[in-house]
Amino acid sequence: MFSDYSTSELMSIFAMQGFAGLTLFSVFVLMALGLAIIFGQMGVINMAHGEFMILGAYITYLTSNIFSQWLPGLYGSYFFVAMIFAFIAAGLLGMLVEWLIIRHLYHRPLDTLLATWGVSLILQQTYRSVFGAREVGVSMPDWMMGSYPLTDLVEVPINGIFVMCLAIGTTCVIAALMYRSRWGIQVRAVVQNRTMAGAVGINTQKVDRMTFGLGCGIAGIAGSAFTMIGSIGPTSGQLYIVDTFLVVVFGGAASLLGTVASAFTISQAQSTMEFFLSGSMAKVLTLLFVVGVLMIRPQGLFTLKVRR
Amino acid sequence: MLNVSDYRVSYGQSEIVHGLNFSVKPNEIVAVMGRNGMGKTTLMKSLIGVIPSSGGQISLDGKNVTPLKSYQRVEQGMSYVPQGRMIFSSMTVRENIETGLTTTGRRTVPKDLYDLFPVLLDMRNRRGGNLSGGQQQQLAIARALASDPKLLMLDEPTEGIQPSIIKEIAQTLKDIRDHRGLTIVVTEQVLSFALDVADRILVVEKGQVVHEEARATVDAQKVASYLSV
């Protein structure tokens, strides 16, 4: 399959597919970060994570419409406003879902799967009723259009670079929150031992709600970023949820670094193979690889060295 | 300072603690003794509020804390060192102590805690789970003291710990009582430890106080007869 291309062409293909992989990686990271907090830390199997992402995407769509209608002069900066709205909306919905459903199920992790799957169906139908079944797209502001030529053959799209910066920035903020702030210490204490955390003076219910809200809020940001690279429909979230769980499990559930590393591996493998093979073949190979690694290391790529 | 009256705790239909009454004076160390399965741990867990009570009342300094959740009880000045330590094993020693600071609003671990347990200062960047049992016990006590409690409750602090460290812990408990004006309730099976540390000994049997005596007048043989099977 490589014989049809010259060496320099092959290099360019690898570079461009590599970059496309990086864009996919960024969306994976954003999606998986939220899930790493909710599933990896709290142990809640959140099947509705994709729908929280799509909520963020629809909020971005609405904001872009509002800006193009009422504030066309400021259209270039709508995305930043949209991102904040997406974070707040998805976060608030997450806190509502936690309050209504999840908090009753912390002792029954498998039941969270069913409950959140129900939430996901409800949300999908809500989107269908409100926004219609057709996919909608967002027009990007001018400065995000086009691409930046590196060489004659290699061009990197600007929106890709932007999404990547967004992913890196969000990861750093989350890492700082979890490992450097007092709030992060409380979150980690609660997820390790909810009863004991209460007995040392932590308001566990509040921490749980904020944590779940944060995870969903990050999914909202992921949705915002998603509008840069694809169109949005009521069921778009479904396409990504399996990949996202794959990333979190493969990376090792309790480790943020593992999540980033595994998102990188999976997205690069997928994107490079997709160019040469069919999409489904690429998926099969990725899955086989992940299954193989998980058989050898069931705890995922990265784990903490600690006595149990 | 602590008043427990007609206190009842049940798991479902089966009542474990049957109408318990006792009180603890300020600055006093009380040891609650009893054989396995007599409700000591159940009592402690429910005093800090991690399992609910089914009747009766707890008051701390005259304030009824029975309806409060455990983190609110910590705010009121209660703190708890559970049986089996229950430290947060994947967090570092420093972070473990910092979890106890939540209700005080402080950000850094006060120096006097490290003075009490110098070993924790050396190990502050190790993960709690990698500490030995004795070190974990000291960490659990430091974490409880970080919330500036008025009342410290320890559940079998000597379980699985070597004799020299048991002595150290007894000394530390007496020190913090003298220097911080703390009141301490400790459950125990080891009579020598209880006699060493406590001002008063309560013996619990089948969820009720069956014997109560000050250390000054205690008849070690009589208490021992309650503890032997």
CA atoms within 13 A on the CB side of B228: 6
Percent of chain A with pLDDT over 70: 97
Mean pLDDT across A268-273:
82
Q: Whole-prediction pTM value?
A: 0.85
Nearest to B70 among A185, A188, A198 (CB): A198
C-alpha A199: how far from chain center: 34
Residue A255, pLDDT score: 74
Tens digit of pLDDT for each residue in A35-78? Answer: 888 887 788 889 999 999 999 999 999 999 998 888 888 887 88
User: Rounded to 5 degrees, what angle do the CA atoms B53, B54, B56 make?
Assistant: 80
Distance from CA of A192 to the nearest CA of B (A): 6
CB pair distance less than 8 Å for A195 and B75: no
Closest CA to B201 of B222, B180, B181: B222
Q: Scanning every residue of chain B, which has its alpha carbon at the shortest distance from the alpha carbon of A200?
A: B100
Interface of A with B (CB under 8 A): 182, 185-186, 188-189, 192-193, 195-204, 254, 304-308
Residue A2, pLDDT score: 67
Q: What pairing do the DSSP bridges indicate for beta strands A147-149 and A155-157?
A: antiparallel
Query: How far is the C-alpha of A248 from the C-alpha of A120, rounded, in Å?
Result: 19
Distance from CA of B217 to the nearest CA of A (A): 35
Residue B165, pLDDT score: 86
CB pair distance less than 8 Å for A307 and B89: yes
Distance from CA of A202 to the nearest CA of B (A): 5
First to last CA, chain B: 33
Checking if the pLDDT of B163 tops 80, the result is yes
At A69, list the tokens.
């209608």
DSSP state, B7? Answer: E
Checking if the pLDDT of B55 tops 80, the result is yes
Residue B151, pLDDT score: 94
Mean pLDDT across A81-109:
92
User: Which residue matches tokens 């009747």?
Assistant: B55
**Rg of chain A (C-alpha set):** 20
Query: If you write DSSP's letter for every residue of chain A in order, what string do you get?
Result: --TTS-HHHHHHHHHHHHHHHHHHHHHHHHHHHHHIIIIIIT----TTHHHHHHHHHHHHHHHHHHHHHH-GGGGGGHHHHHHHHHHHHHHHHHHHHHHHTGGG-TT-HHHHHHHHHHHHHHHHHHHHHHH-SS-B--PPPGGGSSEEESSSS-EEEHHHHHHHHHHHHHHHHHHHHHHHSHHHHHHHHHHH-HHHHHHTT--HHHHHHHHHHHHHHHHHHHHHHHHHHS-B-TTHHHHHHHHHHHHHHHH-TT-HHHHHHHHHHHHHHHHHHHHHS-HHHHHHHHHHHHHHHHHH-TT-S-------
Counting Cβ atoms within 10 Å, is residue B219 exposed (0-12), middle (13-18) or buried (19+)?
A: exposed
Q: Positive or negative, the Cα torsion across B98, B104, B108, B113?
A: negative
Which of residues A159 and B176 earns the better pLDDT score?
Answer: B176
Checking if the pLDDT of A231 tops 90, the result is no
Say if CB B191 and CB B33 are below 8 A apart.
yes
Question: Which residues are CB-contacts of B225 (< 8 A; sequence separation ≥ 6)?
Answer: none
Say if CB A225 and CB A272 are below 8 A apart.
no
Mean pLDDT across A197-226:
92
Closest CA to B19 of B34, B29, B4: B4
Question: Which residues are CB-contacts of A113 (< 8 A; sequence separation ≥ 6)?
Answer: A45, A47
Checking if the pLDDT of A3 tops 90, the result is no
One-letter amino acid at A104 equals H
Residue A307: which pLDDT band, with cuts at 50, 70 and 90? low
Residues in chain B within 8 Å Cβ distance of A204: 71
Residue A242, pLDDT score: 84
User: Which residue matches tokens 């008025």?
Assistant: B150
Average per-residue pLDDT in chain B?
90
DSSP state, B119? Answer: H
Residues in chain A within 8 Å Cβ distance of B50: 195-196, 198-199
Nearest to B102 among A201, A306, A308 (CB): A201
Distance from CA of A189 to the nearest CA of B (A): 6
Domain ranges in chain A? 11-296
Residue A162, pLDDT score: 86
CB pair distance less than 8 Å for A199 and B91: no
Percent of chain B with pLDDT over 70: 100
Mean pLDDT across B103-111:
88
Q: For an interface test with A, which of B65, B69, B70 has the most A Cβ atoms less than 10 Å from its Cβ?
A: B70
Q: Scanning every residue of chain A, which has its alpha carbon at the shortest distance from the alpha carbon of B80?
A: A199
Checking if the pLDDT of A308 tops 60, the result is no
Residue A253, pLDDT score: 66
Instruction: Return the CATH architecture of domain B2-85+149-227.
Output: 3-Layer(aba) Sandwich (3.40)
Nearest to A197 among B99, B127, B129 (CB): B99
CB pair distance less than 8 Å for B82 and A199: yes
Residue A37, pLDDT score: 86
Q: What pairing do the DSSP bridges indicate for beta strands B183-188 and B29-33?
A: parallel
Among A69-73, A202-206, B59-63, B87-91, name the one with the lowest average pLDDT.
A69-73
Residue A1: which pLDDT band, with cuts at 50, 70 and 90? low
The ipTM of this complex is 0.88
**Rg of chain B (C-alpha set):** 17
Residues in chain B within 8 Å Cβ distance of A200: 74, 79-80, 99-100, 102, 143-144, 146-147
At B152, list the tokens.
């410290």
Average per-residue pLDDT in chain A?
86
CB pair distance less than 8 Å for A198 and B89: no
Checking if the pLDDT of A189 tops 70, the result is yes
Query: How far is the C-alpha of B194 from the C-alpha of A294, rounded, in Å?
Result: 51
Residue A279, pLDDT score: 77
User: Which residue matches tokens 């070190």?
Assistant: B135
Residue B140, pLDDT score: 94
CB pair distance less than 8 Å for A196 and B82: yes
Mean pLDDT across A87-102:
95
Residue A94, pLDDT score: 95
Which of residues B28 and B105 earns the better pLDDT score?
Answer: B28
Residue B125: which pLDDT band, with cuts at 50, 70 and 90? very high
Among A143-147, A181-185, B31-35, B158-162, name the one with the lowest average pLDDT.
A143-147
Residue B227, pLDDT score: 82
Say if CB B59 and CB B35 are below 8 A apart.
no
Tens digit of pLDDT for each residue in A107-161? Answer: 888 899 999 999 999 999 999 999 988 888 888 777 777 777 777 777 778 888 8
Residues in chain A within 8 Å Cβ distance of B49: 198-199
